[in-house]
């Protein structure tokens, strides 16, 4: 009833602006959801499993047909003139799907690892003065936040120094050593 009141019909049967905006908003949310699902490795994995199952069934069926055909040729019942489906093509299709499944699982594992590391190194939110604490019971103190940032900066400096040192070693190996 409430939805119908917000979608007022104008003369001529068209919806008013609020109804059109609501429909556009729903459509935009559905597009965002489908885009997120396209990039979600777990969702892609779930989509590939039925294809993988079908490909395996097809592969086994072709293998059985080829085996029966070769057996009948060996027994002299049939000649080799009849065509059979190619086993290698169906095997390649199956392997391609297996590779896609493996990539999805690796990507999902990397996403999980990154999420765990992110939660480990930045576990809580810091309350700000502009936004009062609205039910954020797990927020950290500003002093704790500063110490965490300082440790992250220290770690970044260590990595930077290690990279500079490696670059100097590589550059030193490239120069002729007999020129002094």
Helix (H, G, I), strand (E, B) or coil at 22: helix
Q: b/e for 53-83, b at 16 or more Cβ within 10 A?
A: eebeeebeebeeeeeebeeeeeeeeeeeeee
Distance CA 95, CA 108 (A): 20
pLDDT digits (tens, 9 = 90+) for 19-75: 666 666 677 766 666 666 667 888 999 999 999 999 999 999 999 999 988 898 888
The pLDDT confidence band at residue 148, using thresholds 50, 70 and 90, is confident
At residue 101's C-alpha, the angle toward residues 97 and 105, to 5°, is 170
Q: What is the pTM of this model?
A: 0.52
Kindly state the average pLDDT of the residues 69-93: 85
38 Cβ partners below 8 Å, 6+ apart? Answer: 44
């Amino acid at each position: 009833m409430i939805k119908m009141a917000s979608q007022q019909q104008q003369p001529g049967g068209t919806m008013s602006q609020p109804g059109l905006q609501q429909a556009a908003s729903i459509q935009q949310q559905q597009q965002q959801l489908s885009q997120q699902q396209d990039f979600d490795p777990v969702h892609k994995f779930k989509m590939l499993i039925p294809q993988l199952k079908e490909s395996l069934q097809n592969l086994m069926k072709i293998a059985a047909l080829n085996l029966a055909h070769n057996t009948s040729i060996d027994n002299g019942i049939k000649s080799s003139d009849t065509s059979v489906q190619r086993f290698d093509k169906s095997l390649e299709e199956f392997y391609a799907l297996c590779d896609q499944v493996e990539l999805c699982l690796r990507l999902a594992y990397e996403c999980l690892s990154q999420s765990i590391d992110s939660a480990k190194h930045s576990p809580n939110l810091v309350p700000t003065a502009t936004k009062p604490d609205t039910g954020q019971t797990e927020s950290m103190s500003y002093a704790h936040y500063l110490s965490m940032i300082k440790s992250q900066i220290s770690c970044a400096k260590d990595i930077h120094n290690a990279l500079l040192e490696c670059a100097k070693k590589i550059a030193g190996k490239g120069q002729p050593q007999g020129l002094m």
